[in-house]
Each structure stands twice: as structure tokens, then as C-alpha cells.
Amino acid sequence: MDTVYFLAAPITASLLLAAILSYFGNHILTRGIIFIDIAVAQVAALGTMLGILIGVQDGTLLSTVISLAFTLVILSLFSLAKFQHTELSREVIIGVIYCVALATAMLLVDAVQGGANFVQKTLTGSLLWVSWNDIVQMLLLFSLVICIHAFFRKQFIALSENSEQTTFSSYNRRLDLLFYVTFGFVIVQAVKIGGIFLVFMYLIAPATLAQLYTDSWNKRFVISFVTAMIGSLAGIYISYQYNFPNGPTIVCALGALLIMSILAQQKRLV
């Protein structure tokens, strides 16, 4: 019972992350901006590192606000850039954002107390040590985001399916910006708990698996969430049995599920 109680919070947190990120992953894949999540996650981590550098303690509200501010600025610029400079590839912008954020973090790592440990934490997360207070905050934030996306469901799907269009109305541009703003809030919260690698896998692996089997948005949402849930539970179980870190183990479990699904799909087509 002690073990169940100890793992209850990490399991709950992983399922919340699985739900919200597997949903966003379907939009990200459809928009063709696969690496935007890892770039934004790196920017969020950089914001936290800069906060630490000026004396803000990691994990505080002010630290989160600084990280969120960096993230929202970058996402807003990214959202507007594709309308004002259509000749620029979005992947070029994403790549530059990621490289600059990572390089800046590397430049600051020695200036920040415990910088190496912080970088390790941003990559692998701290899922095992998540608190119930963290989970309540995640639940409130994710519930608000889900309500917004449920209300604008059809519009967000249409924007994702036509993301290359350059003649959006001002209303659609504002909706697109709203999509990225909600995405930014989720990423900042998710990176604090899961780390960059786990956030990336939650976004991409389940949604990719879902797209192997269906084009229906509703079915893709369901399949991607179930996949993320299975990967989470399997990863936490394996990590507990063999004393592996939670986050990296879930990443490997999700990767294994995706690879097996691709092989099964290829075998069925042969």
C-alpha cells in the first residue's frame, strides 16, 4: 500500500500529461510543425534558467511567470511570422528558435548555481517527485484549456488542416494565436513535471500511431490518448520494477509502442 500511495501522484500526473499532450499532438502533426514542441520546451527551460540567474527560485510562481512570458513571446512571433513572411519555412524558424535557446542555456549553465543539474532536470523531468499540489494546478489549467478547445473545436481543426493558408481573416489569425497561447501554457506546465524528452514523446508518438490507422479526428484523439496511457502505465511499472527513472522509461515505452505499431502496419500491408 505504501508503494501504491507513493506512485499514485506520478501515475495521475502522467495520465494528465498523456491526455492533454496527445490531444495537442494531433494538431501539431497535422500542421506539420513536429519540432515546435521541443523548441518551445527549450525556450520554457531557458526562461526558468534566466529566472534562477537573477535570483528567482525554481518552482515558484514568479519562476513560472518568467518561463511563460518567454514561451508566449516566442509562440506569438512564430504565429505572426508565417503570415507576414510566407517565403520563410516554418521549420527554419523552429530550428533557429531551438538552437538559439539551447546555445544560450549552454552559455549560462556555469553561471547558474547547480546549472548542470538543472539542465538534466529539464531534459528528464521530475515526474517521480510530483506533488498533489502540482497535480491540482495541472488539472485546473488543463481543464481551462480543454474548455477553450472544446468551444472552438471545429475552428481549431479547420486551422490545423489549412495551416499553410496565407489568406486567413483577422478572426482566424486571432484564433490561431489563441491556439498557440494555450499550447504555450500547457508546455510550460508540462516541462516542469515531465521534462523536454517526455513532453516531445507524448506529443508526437501517440498521435503518429493514431494517424497510422485513421483519418478521423475523434478516433485519433481516442487512439492517441489510449496509447499515451498504456505507455505511461507500462513505463512507470518498469521503472519501479527495475529502479529506472520514470520519464526516460516512459519515453522508451512510447517509442517501443510506436515502432511495434509501424511494423504491424507494414506487415498488414504486405
CATH code assigned at 200: 1.10.3470.10
Work out the average pLDDT over 147-153.
Answer: 95
Residue 6 lies in a domain: yes
Residue 198 lies in a domain: yes
Residue 229 lies in a domain: yes
Residue 98 lies in a domain: yes
Cα→Cα distances 160→6, 88, 166, 248, Å? 40, 18, 13, 30
Q: Which of 46-55, 148-157, 160-169, 237-246 has the lowest mean pLDDT?
A: 160-169
Of 15, 6, 26, 5, nearest to 210 by C-alpha is 26
- Residue 61 makes CB contacts below 8 A (sequence gap 6+) with none
Of 200, 204, 208, 219, nearest to 261 by C-alpha is 208
Work out the average pLDDT over 193-215.
Answer: 90
Residue 270 lies in a domain: no
The dihedral built from the CA positions of residue 40, 78, 25 and 150, taken in this order, carries a sign that is positive
Residue 54 lies in a domain: yes
Work out the average pLDDT over 136-163.
Answer: 92
Which range marks the domain in which residue 148 is found?
A: 2-265
Q: For the chain, how many residues are written?
A: 270
Q: Domain count for the chain, please give it.
A: 1
With bands split at pLDDT 50, 70 and 90, how would you rate the model's confidence at 227? very high
How many other β-carbons are positioned within 10 Å of the β-carbon of residue 258?
20
Task: Report the first-to-last Cα separation within the chain, whole angstroms.
Answer: 48
**Model pTM?**
0.86
Q: Indicate whether 231 pLDDT > 80.
A: yes
With bands split at pLDDT 50, 70 and 90, how would you rate the model's confidence at 195? confident
Residue 246 lies in a domain: yes
Which residue type is seen at 153? R
Spatial separation of the C-alpha atoms in residues 75 and 219, rounded to whole Å:
28
pLDDT, the chain, mean: 84
Expressed in percent and rounded to 5, the helix, strand and coil fractions of the chain are 85, 0, 15
Q: What is the pLDDT of residues 84-112, one digit of tens each?
A: 545 456 677 777 888 888 888 788 877 77
Q: Indicate whether 182 pLDDT > 70.
A: yes
Q: Indicate whether 5 pLDDT > 80.
A: no
The answer to whether the beta carbons of residues 206 and 22 sit under 8 Å apart is: yes
